[in-house]
Structure 1
């Protein structure tokens, strides 16, 4: 990625205030809830996953198509990549992805938070998160509510001072 493309890319990323926070992609989002970014290579424009592009840029490694990038944070539009400790994305394969899914109970058998969401629901959740970040900014409580499928106008059991 050249400096112009990197600047255009980073313009679509909102980092949380803490070092360990997600870096939320606020650009285009696919129908599966993951980000999309347009690049030009060999005179042709194509769409890529932003997390893969940034991972390759930061680590200097080219990912083959069979390599999956797994999210430790389980936020599909997170692009928090570092070359080492603190990265929210790590390389895996299909079996690692399935194990991670089972361990985190995202197998579709349960409907708690992001778990068991359909493709359309996951896309809607990602778009809601993007809209929140763009309109409100980084609000940890509001982000948590969106990620857990809680409506902002839902009554709360307790109001903390």
Structure 2
């Protein structure tokens, strides 16, 4: 039996138990730390961002290619989309809004090229991969998710 595109998509999403929890993408992850989902459009394969696919699927609102999706949770593999902006972890925005959000959250480089609150790309990618591995291997385990997001080894001793 062949799964539909939607079934295939949702098979790669793990939702947290609480309504405001992230929904983590466990499928392919690109070299920028964000997810990647393969679809067929006009008979040809095309890679799309899972958060974009989720947003359009859940809200029924097609997004023009010029519209970005901004993460309120700052987790690149979160695909928690909802028509209610108070619930959704991703929301449409412009490039300008994305840059302002980045500055407000301290994720940018200054003129000297120093990162201010931003993670180097390879670390961001590794954290996304580590988080995906935790979710796939252990399911929804808040302490393991937290460790992966912080970049802490799972075997690292804890004080509490």
**Common topology (TM > 0.5):** yes
Deviation at 1:24, TM superposition (A): 0.2
Superposition TM-score, scaled by structure 2 size:
0.89
1:50 alignment partner in structure 2: 50
- Report the Cα distance in structure 1 between the residues aligned to 2:107 and 2:99, rounded to whole angstroms: 9
- Report the Cα distance in structure 2 between the residues aligned to 1:152 and 1:61, rounded to whole angstroms: 39
Deviates more, 1:57-66 or 1:37-46: 57-66
Superposition TM-score, scaled by structure 1 size:
0.89
Q: How many residues align?
A: 152
Answering whether residue 10 of structure 2 is matched by residue 10 of structure 1, we say: yes
2:107 alignment partner in structure 1: 106
Gaps of 5+ in 1: none
Gaps of 5+ in 2: 110-114
- Report the Cα distance in structure 2 between the residues aligned to 1:151 and 1:104, rounded to whole angstroms: 25
Deviation at 1:153, TM superposition (A): 2.5
- Report the Cα distance in structure 2 between the residues aligned to 1:52 and 1:76, rounded to whole angstroms: 12
Deviates more, 1:68-77 or 1:145-154: 145-154
1:95 alignment partner in structure 2: 96
Deviation at 1:27, TM superposition (A): 0.2
Deviations 1:108-159 (A, max 9, x none): 534xxxx421222111110100000000111111111111122222233x33
Deviation at 1:101, TM superposition (A): 1.1
Deviates more, 1:93-102 or 1:24-33: 93-102
Cα RMSD for the two superposed structures? 1.4
Answering whether residue 142 of structure 2 is matched by residue 140 of structure 1, we say: yes
